[in-house]
Amino acid sequence: MNHSVRILLKSPKFMLGAVLLLLMIGVVMIYPLINRNDPLEMIALAYQPPDSKLLLGSDNFGRDLFLELIYGIRTSLQVGLIAGVFATAIGLVIGLASGYIGGMIDNLLTAVTNIFIVIPSFVILILISVSIDSRSSFVTAAIIGITSWPWTARAVRAQTSSLRNRDHVNIAKISGYSTPRIIMYEILPYIASYVVMAFVLQMASGILAEASISMLGLGPYNTISLGIIMNWALVFEAPVAGAWWAFIPAALSIAVITFSLYMMNTGMDEIFNPKIRS
Amino acid sequence: MSAYGKYVVKKFFWYFVTLIVAIALNFLLPRMIEGNPVSVIVAQMTQGMTESDTIKRVYDTFAAEFGIDQPLHVQFFIYVKNLLTGNWGTSFGLYPKPVTEILASAIPWTIGLQLPAILVGWIIGNVLGAVAAYRKGVFDKVIFPVALFVNSIPFFTLAIIMLYAFALTLKWFPMHGGYDYQMIPSLSWEFIGSVLRHHTLPFLSIVLVTIGGQAIGMREMSIYELNSDYVLYSKLLGIRDSRIARYVFRNAMLPQITGLALSIGTMVGGSLICEIVFSYPGIGTWMFTAIRQLDYPLISGCTLLIALAVLLANFTIDLIYGWIDPRIKAAQMEDQ
C-alpha cells in the first residue's frame, strides 16, 4: 500500500489533481472562519459588479457572491463525497455478491444492474426529487448515490468473478475460511485500486448530478450549492442583465472540481493499468 | 435461427423488461408524495379558488384520471392502458392542453438538436482520440489535457459561457428560443436561416463536450491496442503503417460503440439542461417550466419520454453493435 502511494506521489497528473482539490478544500474551510458574514445576508444592490469590497459582485438579491461561491463549493464537495460513498458502497456490495456467489443470484443481480444502467439515472433522480418535499443536501446526495451505483457494480462484478477461481482463493476456501473473510482478505485487496478510482469518478459525477438537478430547480433546500447559484442566475435572468459574475465563477468552479478529480483518476489509472501508459 | 436473430431476440426481451421497469418507476415514484397525490395536486391547483363546487369537480376529474379509489395494481393497469391509448394526462400549467400535444411540439426540436450534436461529437472525438494516440508527441500532449478539461466542464456550463460570450457580448448569435419569435413557422429560407442561427450555439456546446469525453476514451483504447502483441507482430511482418492503423482503429472502435450506448443517457440529460440555458423549445425547457409550476403530469410525461428515447437509442446501438461485432458473425458462421 505504501509503495503504491509513493508511486502515486510521483505521477504529475495525480499530483496536479490532488493539489488543486486540496487547495480548494483548504480555501472553503478557512474563508468562512475569516469572513463570518451570513452568505444569505443582503448587503448590496442587485447585480453590483465586482470591486475591491465585493470580490465577485452581488447577485439578484444583493448578496455577496464570493461568499456564496465559497459556501456553494463546500456544499457541492460534501454532496459529491456523500453521493460517492453511497454509490461506491452499494455498487461494491452488489458487485461482490453477484461476482463471488454466482449462480442464480449473479443472474438476478446482473439483470437488475443492466436494467438500471440503461434507464437514465437522471430520470430517476428527477422523479424521486419531485416526490420528496423537503430535501436537505444530505438527502439529495443520498438520492444521487442510490441512482448511480450500477457502473461500479458492473466493474466490481467483472473483477470479482475472474478472481473467484484463482488459486489463492481456492486455497483459502479449502482452508475453511469463512466467506466474509475470503472476500475481505483474498478478493478486496485485488480490486481496491479499482474501487478507489470508481469512488473518485462517482464523486465527480455526483457533483455534476447535483449541479444538473439544482439547475432544474430540484436541488436541496435551505442551502447554497454551485448548481443552486446557477439556478438563481438563470431564473433571475443574470445573463440578460449582463451579470457574468453571477454564473461564470460558479460554472468554472464546477469545471475545476471535476477536472481535478478526473486528473486524479487518470493519474491512478495510468499507474494501476501500465498498459495504457503512452 | 441465425446467431444474429438470436442476439436480436435476446436483446429485445431484455429491453422489454427494462421498459416495464421504467414505466413502473414512472408510475410508482410520483405516488410516493406523502398523502393522497390527488388532494395534494388539487390543493395546489385550486389555490385562490373559492367555489367549492369547482374544487370538487377538479378533484373528481383527477381522481378518475388517476383511478385513485382502486388498488395499486389496478391503478397501474389503468396507467398503462392510458399510456398506450395516447392519454398521457392533462397539463396543469397549460390547462387543458393534453401532455402529448406539448410533448409532440417539443420532440422535433430536441431530436433536431441532440441527434446530430451527439453523433458529430462522437465521430470527431473518436478520430481525434485515435490520432492523439497514434501520433503521440506534441499532438497528444496538447489534445489530451484540453480534452480532459473540456470533458470536465458540464454541458450547461459550456452552454452558459458560450451564451454569454457569443450571444450577449459579441452578439453573433441570438440569445434564446428556437427561431425569431415574430416569425411564423413556414418552409421559407428566411425561417430556416433563423432556425439554423438559433441552433448553432446549443449544437456547438453539446458537440464540444461530447468530443472531450469521446476523445479521452478513444485515446485510451487506442493506446491499449497499440501496445498489444498483434500490432508488434504486424510491424515485424513489415505491414504498412496505414494498414495497422486500420486494424487498431477497428478494434478500438468496438468498445467505443458500447461506450456510446452506455453514456447516451447521461448525454441526453446534459443536453436537456443545455436547452434550458438557451430556452430552446425542446423537452428540457418544457421540463424546467413544468418543475417550476409543479405541473406533475407534464413532468412525468417528460421523464417517461426521455426514458423511452434513451432505451430506443440503446436498443438501436445494440443492434448495430451485434451486426458489426465479428464475434457474433463468427458464431453465425459456425452455426451454418
Q: Running DSSP on this structure, what letter comes out for residue B95?
A: T
Residues of A in contact with B220 (CB under 8 A): 269, 276
Q: What is the per-residue burial (b if ≥16 Cβ within 10 Å, else e) of B106-115?
A: beebbebbbe
Task: Give the distance, in angstroms, between the CA of residue A171 and the centroid of all CA atoms in the same chain.
Answer: 38
pTM for the whole structure: 0.83
More confident residue, A80 or B35: A80
Pairwise CA distance, residues B302 & B286, whole Å: 8
A242: left (phi over 0), alpha (psi -120 to 50) or beta: left
User: By C-alpha distance, which of B209, B271, B164 is closest to A258?
Assistant: B209
Q: Running DSSP on this structure, what letter comes out for residue A183?
A: I
Identify from B29, B131, B288 which residue to disrupt to test chain A contact, counting A C-beta atoms within 10 A and taking the largest count.
B29
Residues of A in contact with B288 (CB under 8 A): 216-217
Cβ A63 vs Cβ A238: under 8 Å: no
Helix (H, G, I), strand (E, B) or coil at B98: strand
Residues of A in contact with B152 (CB under 8 A): 204, 255, 258-259, 261-262
The mean pLDDT value of chain B amounts to: 80
Domain residue extents for chain B: 3-84, 102-292
Pairwise CA distance, residues B65 & B82, whole Å: 9
Output the pLDDT for position B1: 63
Interchain CB contact of B115 with A (< 8 Å): no
Pairwise CA distance, residues B164 & B158, whole Å: 10
Q: What is the pLDDT along chain A (278 residues), one digit of tens a residue?
A: 567 677 777 788 888 889 999 999 998 888 888 887 777 777 777 777 777 777 777 777 778 888 889 999 999 999 999 999 999 999 999 999 998 888 888 889 988 998 888 888 888 888 888 877 778 889 889 989 988 898 889 889 988 888 888 888 888 888 888 888 888 888 888 888 888 888 998 999 899 889 888 888 888 888 889 888 888 888 887 777 778 888 888 888 988 898 899 888 888 887 877 665 55
User: By C-alpha distance, which of B291, B285, B333 is closest to B103?
Assistant: B285
Angstrom CA distances, B302 to A84, A262, B65, B88, B153, stand at 27, 31, 18, 10, 25
DSSP assignment of A92-150 equals: HHHHHIIIII-HHHHHHHHHHHHHHHHS-HHHHHHHHHHH-SS--HHHHHHHHHHHS-H
More confident residue, B59 or B35: B59
> What is the greatest pairwise CA distance in chain A?
74
Residues of B in contact with A275 (CB under 8 A): 223-224, 227
In chain A, whose CA is at the least distance from the CA of B132? A278
Task: Give the distance, in angstroms, between the CA of residue B318 and the centroid of all CA atoms in the same chain.
Answer: 16
Output the pLDDT for position B186: 67
Pairwise CA distance, residues A62 & A43, whole Å: 6
Output the pLDDT for position A14: 86
**A277/B168 touch (CB, cutoff 8 Å), yes or no:** no
Count Cβ atoms below 10 Å from residue B169 Cβ, excluding itself: 11
Write out pLDDT tens, residues B168-208. 777 787 777 766 666 666 667 777 777 777 788 888 888 88
Pairwise CA distance, residues A66 & A57, whole Å: 7
Interchain CB contact of B163 with A (< 8 Å): yes
Please name the residue that has the C-alpha cell 472502435: B253
Output the pLDDT for position B300: 85
**B303/A127 touch (CB, cutoff 8 Å), yes or no:** yes
Chain A contacts in chain B segment 257-316 (CB below 8 A): 262, 265-266, 268-270, 272-273, 276-277, 287-288, 291-292, 296, 299-300, 303, 306-307, 310-311, 314
Identify from B15, B16, B118, B157 which residue to disrupt to test chain A contact, counting A C-beta atoms within 10 A and taking the largest count.
B157
Of the candidates B17, B26, B160, the beta carbon closest to that of A247 is on B160
ipTM: 0.79
**B25/A126 touch (CB, cutoff 8 Å), yes or no:** no
**B133/A240 touch (CB, cutoff 8 Å), yes or no:** no
Domains, chain A, ordered by start? 17-27+64-277 (1.10.3720.10)
Using the predicted structure, report yes or no on whether residue B305 has a pLDDT greater than 80.
yes
Q: What angle do CA B294, B296, B302 make, to 5 degrees?
A: 110
Write out pLDDT tens, residues B128-167. 888 888 777 777 777 777 777 777 777 777 888 888 888 7
Please compute Rg for chain A using Cα positions: 22
Cβ A168 vs Cβ A182: under 8 Å: no
Q: What is the per-residue burial (b if ≥16 Cβ within 10 Å, else e) of B185-201?
A: eeeeeeeeebbeebbeb
**A122/B227 touch (CB, cutoff 8 Å), yes or no:** no
Class of domain B102-292: mainly alpha
**B273/A123 touch (CB, cutoff 8 Å), yes or no:** no
Output the pLDDT for position A129: 84
Output the pLDDT for position B173: 77
How many contacts, defined by CB atoms under 8 Å, are there between A and B? 155
Output the pLDDT for position B336: 57
**B17/A262 touch (CB, cutoff 8 Å), yes or no:** no
Output the pLDDT for position B69: 66
